[in-house]
Amino acid sequence: MRSRFDLTCLATAVTLAITTVSGFAAGPSPSGQEGSPLRDSVNGFAVGPSPSPSVREGSPLRDPPQLVSRNGILRARLVVERRQADVAGRKLWALTYNGHYMPPTLRIQPGDRLELAMENRLGKNTNLHVHGLHVSPSGHSDNVFVHIHPGETFRYSYRFPTNLASGTYWYHSHAHPMSGPQVAGGLSGVIVVDGLKWYLPPGLRDITEHVIALKDFQIQGDTVKTKDLHISAPTNRTVNGQLNPTIRIRPGEIQLWRLANISANIYYKVHLQGQPFQVIAHDANPVNRIWAADSLLLAAGARFDVLVRGGPPGRTQLQTLPYNTGPAGNQFPQATLATLVSEGAPMRPPALPTTFAPTEDLGHADIAARRTIVFSENKAGTEYYINGKQFDMNRVDIRSKLNTVEEWTVRNDSDEEHSFHVHVDDFQLMSINGRPHDGHGWQDTASVPPRGQIVIRISFTDYTGKTVLHCHILNHEDAGMMAVLEIVK
């Protein structure tokens, strides 16, 4: 949640002319017949992807380099360009920030300023969205209506509140209608807001932490694909841009892993063989009670901060399990993401606390307005709608008042899941298909079941201006599944 306190996710596949290139999953050959740009189809039915090729255990996990704030400010420059970069151990043409497929992590403190100059060396417009951060949507802040033209430099200026929630966020292109191709091409990275460790016992505040950025790419020749993207096409799932990296841990050691789905379209159902995850934050909202999960569904755009304990000496796998988003959706196959190696002298860390961070419960809040938001699509899967309309940046779809709480029913009238996301203010997920839900905090992304619905409560605080809500499956967003939200006094 936006804390008010200072401490603050093997299906049968039908594809045509699929090949494997140097251990990478390659897309359909140019001569092969393809379905719609949003899903492959055979006789009108959506089909799932081919399994990712098996990969060797890779090199040690490399955490992305960090750009860290000093004395309350982070000054940074991001150069956006298409160039050859190291992508999973091979030189490929990709879309990069500062020349890297896995760009630097931006690391800040609550109350900091971020002064960021973005230079566009692409041949198309671009922009930047700081996903999940509670910050102004206007002017030179988190304004997704900005167009940075080729050759231009735009200077973003963000001023974050002192009660900014600690945890893992991310940044990516939000240039409509090119967000899917640009993020799939490589334009996504991680943001960390410090403070989570202060909720832990003193003996755990210096534990090792790792960014586990889940980022996939499709390949064609020597290029990361940005055109004719099919969600169900074979893909290569990386951690920090690496294929099956090795993560080392001592038996009994506790580490903090920042799980972040920074891919354009796909889901991950993350599972660590033999060890449960201990969840301490969801979408950069510290939880009120640490909870255990055998697997975690990271819908498009979602994040979890988790504690992982080293098991007995040996090797185990961090996996993404099979997941089906519905009859009209996609079937994502099982794949190995990383290999965890437990070795060395055993450790005996202190016990984890039962409670974790203070959170605000909107269950008894006064409701200023109740709204219904309907996700739908055409039968071909080529057009997507919110409340029967496609995105128009010049039309305001919802007006909400500052310092009020609203209840939204988000209904899915399609046969595939959608990843609901709203900018600026996070929400409390109250129920899924009529069943009460306790997520132990707030979030900014939630998966809406096929032919189902979720109910959320959202509190509008601090900032006014125009922003958006949308499906975070970016192919769907680009094809119209986005609406304008204006927060007014």
- Using the predicted structure, report yes or no on whether residue 351 has a pLDDT greater than 70: yes
pLDDT score for 350? 86
Residue 133 DSSP code: -
The model's pLDDT over 102-114, given as tens digits with 9 standing for 90+, comes to 999 999 999 999 9
- Using the predicted structure, report yes or no on whether residue 142 has a pLDDT greater than 90: yes
Phi and psi at 326, nearest 5°, equal: 125, 170
Is the distance from CB of 210 to CB of 307 less than 8 angstroms? no
Neighbours of 65 (CB within 10 A): 12
pLDDT score for 58? 81
Neighbours of 203 (CB within 10 A): 12
- Using the predicted structure, report yes or no on whether residue 122 has a pLDDT greater than 90: yes
The model's pLDDT over 419-451, given as tens digits with 9 standing for 90+, comes to 999 999 999 999 999 999 999 999 999 999 999
pLDDT score for 26? 60
Mean predicted confidence (pLDDT) in 18-34: 42
Mean predicted confidence (pLDDT) in 70-97: 97
pLDDT score for 179? 98
Is the distance from CB of 230 to CB of 25 less than 8 angstroms? no
Of the two residues 293 and 33, the one the predictor is more confident about is 293
The model's pLDDT over 28-78, given as tens digits with 9 standing for 90+, comes to 433 332 233 343 332 222 223 334 444 567 899 999 999 999 999 999 999
pLDDT score for 32? 30
Mean predicted confidence (pLDDT) in 177-196: 98
Q: Domain 367-488 is of which CATH architecture?
A: Sandwich (2.60)
pLDDT bracket for residue 354 (50, 70, 90):
confident
- SS3 label, residue 415: coil
Residue with tokens 């991310």: 170
Mean pLDDT of the chain: 90
Amino acid at 282: H
Q: Percent of the chain scored above 70 by pLDDT?
A: 89
Is the distance from CB of 121 to CB of 95 less than 8 angstroms? no
pLDDT score for 23? 54
pLDDT score for 349? 85
Mean predicted confidence (pLDDT) in 168-194: 98
pLDDT score for 198? 95
Nearest to 62 by CA among 89, 85, 91, 80: 89
The model's pLDDT over 317-339, given as tens digits with 9 standing for 90+, comes to 999 999 999 999 999 999 999 99
Q: Percent of the chain scored above 90 by pLDDT?
A: 87
Phi and psi at 475, nearest 5°, equal: -60, -35
The model's pLDDT over 232-275, given as tens digits with 9 standing for 90+, comes to 999 999 999 999 999 999 999 999 999 999 999 999 999 999 99
Classify each residue of 330-365 as buried b or exposed e, where b means 16 or more C-beta atoms within 10 Å of its C-beta: bbbbebbbbbbbbeeeeeebeebeeebbebbebeee
Nearest to 298 by CA among 278, 321, 317: 321
Amino acid at 448: V
